[in-house]
Amino acid sequence: MPVFRKVILYTDRDGRARFAGEDITLAEGTPQAALSAVFPCGGYQLRHSPVGFRSDWHCTPKAQWVWVLAGEMEIGLQDGSSRVFKPGDHFFSADTLPVGGVFDPKLHGHWSRQVGTEPLITLFVKS
């Protein structure tokens, strides 16, 4: 049975952002068009980030899917690691501030930036 590999950016128990993966089984549809179950969503947003864009440290306010449509996006974590996402790549951003937590830019969140010579175009699907 085919699976879709969901890349997840999440907040670990220690309050730090981490990447993980989860397989979503594509058990519906047909062999020629395998489908997952239908998941709820709360709308979508498109974003254009010009060449040179870089965010400050931040947490995702509410969990959302992020799809890179054009350009490249780098996500950096507090441990010094980073990942670059190219057109067609995705991640599920669930790096939210722990309940009752006060944002500390030395502990929480991630940063993002546009990479390369093309503007970054992203699609955010709210969950």
The tens digit of pLDDT for each residue in 11-37 reads 999 999 999 999 999 999 999 999 999
What total of structural domains would you count in the chain? 1
**Residue range of the domain that includes 11:** 3-126
Q: Residue 106: its pLDDT value, please?
A: 93
Per-residue pLDDT, averaged over 94-100, amounts to: 92
Q: Which residues contact 57 (CB under 8 A, 6 or more apart)?
A: 105, 108, 109, 110, 111
Distance between CA atoms of 123 and 50, rounded to whole angstroms?
15
Place of tokens 């790096």: 95
Q: Kindly report the pTM of this predicted structure.
A: 0.91
Is pLDDT at 1 greater than 90 in this prediction? Answer: no
Distance between CA atoms of 80 and 63, rounded to whole angstroms?
23
| Tens-place pLDDT, residues 66-95 | 999 999 999 999 999 999 999 999 999 999
pLDDT confidence band for 103 (50 / 70 / 90): very high
Is pLDDT at 98 greater than 90 in this prediction? Answer: no
CA nearest 59: which of 125, 121, 105, 122? 105
Task: For residue 100, give the CATH number of its domain.
Answer: 2.60.120.10
Quickly count: other Cβ atoms within 10 Å of residue 8's Cβ. 15
